[in-house]
Chains A and B, each alone.
Chain A
């Protein structure tokens, strides 16, 4: 029940296109859903996060869409750039249980 399922495992998108990564969860106690970006040899960096009281959050080219009833959330990267090429992890956390449960990661490659 603690799992977060992430798809796809890898994604290739043309420069300027929209990159979409999806995550699904089972644990209804989760109340915080961050996305992390990780470049090779670096630690995960917090990109954007959402709480279940809103259905969408946008920060620049990055948008999280959240569907509470379906227990799904997704990351959209608009106007994808080669510098966005990285591994993206979704995660979830339940109030009172402070560990982050991570998805398996999506390796995103933006091609010119």
Chain B
């Protein structure tokens, strides 16, 4: 158990809908990362937050957004969902978001868009 929690574990929704994925980092970690894992694209970095502020952006679609709250939990919002958004979404956390500290991954949320 990495100490990173994600809810829900599974999510099934229809095209065009909007969903929110939630992540709680390990105790003491200030940085949160979101990754998408799909069969054709592998593990892709989406976005990073550090202590409530966006720090880095990867291949995140404009239909997707995220935020980190004062209690350091983070939410990833996916809107106008398409079939191709079906994937595993992972959250990871680290102490301060530098190369000195490892990233620890949560168990993921499996999103299925029908």
Residues of A with C-beta under 8 A to B4: 43
Contact indicator B2/A95 (Cβ below 8 Å): no
Which residues of chain A come closer than 8 Å to B108, judged between CB atoms? 42-43
Within 8 A of A (CB), among B84-107: 90, 92, 94, 97-99, 102-107
A69-112 vs B: 1/0 string, CB under 8 Å?
00000000000000000000100011111111111110000000
Residue among B43, B92, B98 having the largest count of chain A Cβ atoms under 10 Å? B43
Task: Please tell me if B83 contacts chain A, counting CB pairs below 8 Å.
Answer: no
**Distance (Å) between the CB of A52 and the closest chain B CB?**
11
Alpha-carbon distance between A46 and B3 when the two chains are bound, in angstroms: 13
Known: A43-B2, A44-B105. A98 touches B99 (CB 8 A): yes
List residues of A whose CB falls within 8 A of some B CB: 31-32, 34, 36, 42-46, 49, 89, 93-105
3 A-B pairs with the lowest CB-CB distances in the bound complex, closest first: A99-B45, A43-B105, A102-B43
B43 adjacent to A89 (CB under 8 Å): yes
Given contacts A34-B103, A49-B102, 18 further A-B contacts (CB under 8 A): A43-B2, A43-B106, A44-B43, A93-B99, A95-B99, A96-B99, A97-B56, A98-B33, A98-B98, A98-B99, A99-B33, A99-B48, A100-B33, A100-B43, A102-B42, A104-B42, A105-B42, A105-B43
Looking at B31, B102, B103, the one whose CB has the most chain A CB atoms below 10 A away is: B103
